[in-house]
Amino acid sequence: MAYAQAPTASGIAVPAAADLGFKPKVDLEEELHFKFWNPLHYYRALNQHRMRLNLPNPGQFELLNKEIKTTLLTNFMFDGGRADLAKILSPNFQVMHTFQLGLPGQPSAFEFAGVYADENTLMHGKMDTDFNLQARLNHALSKQLQVKSQAQLMTSDAQSMFQVEGEYTGSDYTLNTKAINPSLTDGTGIYLASYLQSISHKLSLGAELLYQSPMPAIQETSLSLAMRYQPSEDRAWVAQTQGANALTTSYWRKVSDKCEAGAELQVVNLPSQGRREASCSVGVKYEFAASNIRAMADNYGKVSMLLEEKIAPGFSFLVSGELDHLKGENKFGIGLNLES
């Protein structure tokens, strides 16, 4: 094959650019015109911009305020007597026994639970003395796609439920769909779809669409918005709406390696029901080598505290207390945790 050669000042022939496989440049106006009318160009440009930013995954929509949930006492408070015994049978399987001492007007209860977990699957189930059964199954189909299911069979049919969920985890976003008590015959049930996107390394924005149909002739929809701003690893701001009638904001701060503090504000406005109220809770958590302390207070005059003393490896002693100054009610609890 003969190349068209261009002479140089030294007399040496140099091959032309076209002969070396380089395509000539496309006319700028033609290229811009093509990109303007091509929708795929905008999609490719957006993906290239996201790849350049190298944004982190924002996590799950329902765990936006995960730090507040572990700092405040809302999910840890108990009263009466309680004992949790866990037995590890293998690296992937363990069983748990929970004893709850009855309070005045409440009978004693016992729960048996089992957990199996490996790299891709999580199975958890428990049953109490009233034969109420709860089961959960999570399975990862791939590194990005995960399916989840949850069932609850109660002695009262009104409290029984079934839930199926699918979650896709992208490089900088999380997409989740969920169906609660879905019916294929009449279309009743609760359906949710949420999307959470990292806008920058510090800011994440998301939305959740809720569609529910308790009866075939009744349909309701609502849209919830969420924002998470985390300027550093030791603090986080979260704001989230629940439809158009509720707003929740929270602030979490890691004061030191052993101390975390947080505050949460909830505002509810339901003019149709004549309900307009707000609640504010502040809490602190201390983690020491042999003990954990949580304390919380709210604007309703309720003060609570939980102490977990680690007596030995796998053995803990818990004491909880709550004072409700407005209602004049007190709660007190003692618990044991044993793991072997």
Q: What is the mean pLDDT of residues 327-333?
A: 90
Model pLDDT, residue 35? 61
pLDDT tens digits along 222-262: 999 999 999 999 999 999 998 888 999 999 999 999 999 99
Residue 286 pLDDT > 60: yes
Kindly list the distances between the CA atom of residue 262 and the CA atoms of 57, 81, 227, in Å, as whole numbers in the listed order. 23, 28, 17
pLDDT tens digits along 208-224: 999 999 888 889 999 99
Please enumerate in sequence order all residues whose Cβ is within 8 A of that of 326, keeping only pairs 6 or more positions apart, or say none. Answer: 300, 301, 302
* Main-chain dihedrals φ then ψ at residue 47, nearest 5 degrees: -65, -40
Whether the CB-CB separation of 1 and 21 falls below 8 Å is answered with no
Query: How far from the centroid of its chain's Cα atoms is residue 190's Cα?
Result: 19
Model pLDDT, residue 32? 46
Q: What is the distance in angstroms between the CA of the first residue and the CA of the last residue of the chain?
A: 80
| Nearest-angstrom CA–CA distance, 25 and 256 | 59
Model pLDDT, residue 36? 63
Model pLDDT, residue 298? 94
Model pLDDT, residue 13? 54
Number of residues that this document lists for the chain: 340
Q: What mean pLDDT value characterizes the chain?
A: 87
Model pLDDT, residue 323? 94
| Nearest-angstrom CA–CA distance, 306 and 152 | 29
With cut-offs at 50, 70 and 90, classify the pLDDT of residue 29. very low
By DSSP bridging, strand 121-128 and strand 109-117 are: antiparallel
Model pLDDT, residue 11? 53
Percent of the chain with pLDDT strictly greater than 90: 65
Q: What is the mean pLDDT of residues 95-103?
A: 88
Q: What angle do CA 141, 146, 152 make, to 5 degrees?
A: 120
Nearest to 338 by CA among 76, 98, 84, 82: 84
Whether the CB-CB separation of 303 and 297 falls below 8 Å is answered with yes
Model pLDDT, residue 37? 66
Tell how many helices (H) and how many strands (E) occur in the chain.
Answer: 3, 21
With cut-offs at 50, 70 and 90, classify the pLDDT of residue 26. very low
Classified as helix, coil or strand, 297 is strand
* Main-chain dihedrals φ then ψ at residue 62, nearest 5 degrees: -80, -5
Model pLDDT, residue 133? 94
| Nearest-angstrom CA–CA distance, 166 and 179 | 9
pLDDT tens digits along 270-281: 888 888 899 999
Cβ atoms within 10 Å, residue 195: 16
Most confident of 10-14, 24-28, 74-78: 74-78
